[in-house]
Amino acid sequence: MRILLIEDDYYSQREFSAYIKELRPDAEIVGITDSISSSIELINNTENIDLIFSDIRLKDGYSFDIFQHVETNALIVFVTAYEGFALKAFDYECIDYLVKPVLKDNLKHAFQKYDKALLRTDKEKATAIWEELRKNNGDLHRLAIISGPDQIIIKEEDIAYLQFIKGYIHVLCKDGRHGVIRSSLLGLLEKLDENVFFQANRTEVININCIERISKDIMLKSFAKMNPSLHIEPIEIARDRVGILKKMLADTR
Amino acid sequence: MERIRLLNAESQIALEQSEIHKLSIKTDNHFMLNELSSLYSMIDIDTKKAKEYLATLITFYRYLVINAEKDLIPLEEELKFSKLFASNVKFTHNDELHISFDSSLDSKFPGLFVPPVSVQSLISNAIKHNAKLPDRPLIIKVFLSGNKICVSNNYQPVEVINESHGQGLQLLKDRCKLLYGGQVETENNGKEFKVSFTIYNSLQQ
C-alpha cells in the first residue's frame, strides 16, 4: 500500500507516520507534504498512490483545493482538528474523517474502512471485466479474476474449485492462485465444460480432475476430498447429485 | 471603568452595557484545536518542549479567563498577552511566520486602555486568513500610530470556508464603538493589509 500524508504540523506528521508504520508495516509512505502546491506537485508526479491522509487546514488554504486540481484514484481520509468540515469532506468521496488528535485506534479503523472500500472497488472492477468477457466470448476459455489489487488471467482448465458467496464467485486454481468474479453460479457454469465441472451442492462447483477421493461419513453423506495441495475441506455432495458425479467420473475414464 | 460609562448619555447606558455583554470574546477555535492537537503529538516526541508549550498555553488561557469579563484592560496587559500568543504560535510555525512588536510598544502606557483580546484577535485573524509558507512567510507587524494601534501583514489571502468570517473584526468594531466611541479602520492596498483601532486614553477624558 502506497500512502501520501498531507499534514502541516511537524509533530503530527511524525506521530502519524509512526502509527502508520506500526499498524501497516508493509505500507510505503511515498511522501509527506504540508501545503496545497507541494501536494499537487507530488500527486501529479507519483504513480499508484493508494491512500491519502489529508489534514484540511493547511499553510496555504484548505486541502479541498488539492483534490479540485488533481485526478487521483487514491482513496482519501480527511484529518482535522475542527469538525465543521465533515459535510464538505464527503463531497470529495473520502472514506473516513478523522478528528485530531488521531488515536491509534481511530487510525486502525480508517485502515479497516480502506480495506473494505478496496474490496468494493475490486468487485466493481470484477463486474466490468465479466461484462466485457461475456460480450466477447460466449464460451469461456479464459477468465480474468480479481486478486487483491491485480487482475489475473486464468484458463478454464486451471480452475479447481468455485464457491458462490453473495453475488460473487470465489475462484481457486490448481496452483493456489485465487480471486473473485461477479456472476451467478449458473451463469458461469453454462460457460464451463460440463464434463469437467461438477456442481456438488447449492454453492460449490469442483473440477472433477482435482478430486482425490469420495467418501461417506457415518450419516452416509458423501464428501469429495480434493487434492491436498488445494488445502480445502472436503466438499459435501448433495444426495441427489452423487449419481451425476459417478456418471461423470465413469465417462472420463 | 466608571469614567468610561460616563462617556455615554445616561439614557443609553443601560442599553449599550447590555449590548456589550452580549459580545463574548471570540477566539479562533479551529486554530486553538490545532495547537492542542499538535501538543498531543509533541508529548512523545519532545517532552521538554511539550511542557514549555503547555506552560505558555496555560498562561494564555489564564489571561483569556481573567480578562474575558472585563470591558477594557490596560494596553500593556493586552500587549503582554499578544506577545505570549505570538510565542505560542512560534512553537508550531517556525520559518513561515514572523510576528514583530515595534520597540515603541516596550514603553509604559499609563492611562491607555483597549478591549481585551483585541490586538491578539487581529494577529490571530491575520494568521487565519493568509498563507504561511517557508518561501512566502507571513510577516505580521504590531505598532503604534498616533492614538491608534495597528496590526499589519503582507497580503496573501487564503480561502476561508465554513468558519466565522469577519465576525472577529465586527466584534472589535462594536466593542470600541460602544465602550468609548473608538474607530476601527482597515486598509488593503493589495500588498499590505492593515487594521488599526483607537486606544482609549483615560487621562484625556
ipTM, interface predicted TM-score of the complex: 0.73
| pLDDT tens per residue across span B59-94 | 888 888 888 778 899 999 999 999 999 988 887 777
pTM for this prediction: 0.63
**pLDDT greater than 80 at residue B5:** no
Q: B133: distance to nearest CA of chain A, Å?
A: 6
**DSSP code, position A234:** -
Report the pLDDT value the prediction gives residue A84, as an integer from 0 to 100.
Answer: 73
Please state, for a pLDDT cut of 90, what percent of chain A lies above it. Answer: 40
Could you tell me what percent of chain B has a pLDDT over 90? 41
Sort out which chain B residues have CB atoms less than 8 A from A104's CB and list them.
none
Question: In sequence order, what DSSP letters do the residues of A154-184 get, joined into one string?
Answer: EEGGGEEEEEEETTEEEEEETTS-EEEEE--
B92 touches chain A (CB under 8 A): yes
A211-232 average pLDDT score: 90
pLDDT band at B14 (very low <50, low <70, confident <90, very high): low
Q: Would the CB atoms of B162 and A85 count as touching at under 8 Å?
A: yes
| pLDDT bracket for residue A180 (50, 70, 90) | confident
Q: Rounded mean pLDDT of A82-95?
A: 75
Q: Do B29 and A82 touch (CB under 8 A)?
A: yes
The number of helix segments (H) and strand segments (E) in chain B equals 7, 8
CA distance B168 to A130: 58
Of B62-76, B152-166, B175-189, give the range with the top mean pLDDT.
B175-189
Q: Cα(B81)–Cα(A91) distance, rounded to whole angstroms?
A: 40
Interchain pair A35, B34: CB under 8 A:
no
The per-residue pLDDT for range A106-128, each reduced to its tens digit, is: 999 999 999 888 877 766 666 66
User: In this predicted structure, what is the pLDDT of residue A234?
Assistant: 92
Identify the bridge partners of residue A213 per DSSP, sorted by sequence position. Answer: A225
A85 vs B38: CB contact, 8 Å cut-off?
no
Q: Is the pLDDT of residue A148 over 60?
A: yes
Inter-chain CB proximity A84 and B34 less than 8 Å: no
DSSP 8-state code for residue A227: P
pLDDT above 70 for A135: no
Cβ contacts of B136 on chain A, cutoff 8 Å: 60
Grade residue A2 by pLDDT with cuts at 50, 70 and 90: very high
Residue B140 in this model has a pLDDT that exceeds 90: yes
